[in-house]
Amino acid sequence: MSDDAHHPAPLSPIELRVAALEELLTEQGLLPDGFIDEVNRRFESQTGPMNGAKVVARAWVDAEYRARLLAEGTAAIAELGFGGPEGHHMVVVENTDAVHNVIVCTLCSCYPWPVLGLPPSWYKDAPYRARMVREPRALLAEMGCPLPDDVEIRVWDSSAEVRYLVLPQRPPATDGMTEAELAALVTRDSMIGVSRL
C-alpha cells in the first residue's frame, strides 16, 4: 500500500469551509448528526445513475417511449417516476453511429440529479468544463473514449434552464436481454457522453 493511502490529500479551501459550516450547523442543532452522509448515500444508492439507466433501458426496448423521450424528455422521464429539482427541464440527445453527444456545464456544474445522482468531481473541474468545449475529441480520448474522425461530436452546455441526458447506443448482441439486464449495462459516464457505454 502506498504512502498516499495512509496520508489523504489536504482539504481544499472550499472543503475546509464546508466542513466548518457542517460542524457549526451540527453544534447548533440545525443539522442532525450524519445528515450529510445520509443525503449522499441516498443520491448514490436511490437517486443515482440507476434512475437514468432505467430510462435508457426503457428507450432501448420500447420504440414509442424512445420517441417520447427524444421529443419531450422531461415528461417521458417523469413517466418512470423521476423528476424534481435539477431535472425540471430535461432534453435527451441520442448517440448514433455518426454522432456522439457529450454534456458539460461551462458556467458551474449544472447536472441532472434526478437521473444521474451526484455529479462526479471531474465534471465540476475547470479543465473539463473548458477543454470539452475547446477540444472535445482530444479530451474524450484522454478519458478513454476515442472516437473515429468521421464521428461528429456535439457538446451540449447544461444550464439552470435545461439539463441534458445522453441516450447511448444499445450494445450489439443484447436482443434477448430483459430491461433490467440492459439497465445494468448503462453507466453514468455513458449518459454524460464521456464513454460509449
The confidence score (pLDDT) of residue 166 equals: 98
The whole-number pLDDT of residue 13 equals: 79
pLDDT at residue 36, rounded to an integer: 77
C-alpha to C-alpha distance for 182 and 167, rounded to whole angstroms: 13
- Quote the pLDDT of residue 19: 80
User: Structure pTM?
Assistant: 0.80
Q: How is residue 189 annotated by DSSP?
A: H
Q: Which CATH number fits domain 47-192: 3.90.660.10, 3.90.330.10, 3.40.50.300, 3.30.720.110?
A: 3.90.330.10
Q: Which of 2, 45, 105, 195 is catalytic?
A: 105
**Can you give the pLDDT at residue 8?**
63
What pLDDT is attached to residue 12?
A: 75
Pairing of strands 90-94, 163-167: parallel
The residue from 110, 145, 158, 190 that is catalytic is: 110
Catalytic residue among 12, 108, 121, 190: 108
pLDDT tens per residue, range 131-170: 999 999 999 999 999 999 999 999 999 998 999 999 999 9
Q: Which helix (H) or strand (E) holds 101?
A: strand 99-104
Which residue matches cell numbers 477543454?
Answer: 131
Distance (Å, rounded) from C-alpha 49 to C-alpha 52?
A: 5
**Per-residue pLDDT at 45:** 60
Q: What is the pLDDT of residue 3?
A: 46
pLDDT tens, N- to C-terminus, the chain (197 residues):
444 445 566 777 777 887 888 888 888 888 888 877 777 776 666 667 999 999 999 999 999 999 999 999 999 999 999 998 889 999 999 999 999 999 999 998 899 999 998 899 999 999 999 999 999 999 999 999 999 999 999 999 999 899 999 999 999 999 999 999 999 999 999 999 999 98
Nearest-angstrom CA–CA distance, 54 and 57: 5
Helix (H) or strand (E) holding 164: strand 163-167
| Residue 145 is among the residues annotated as catalytic for this protein | no
CA distance 116 to 48: 5
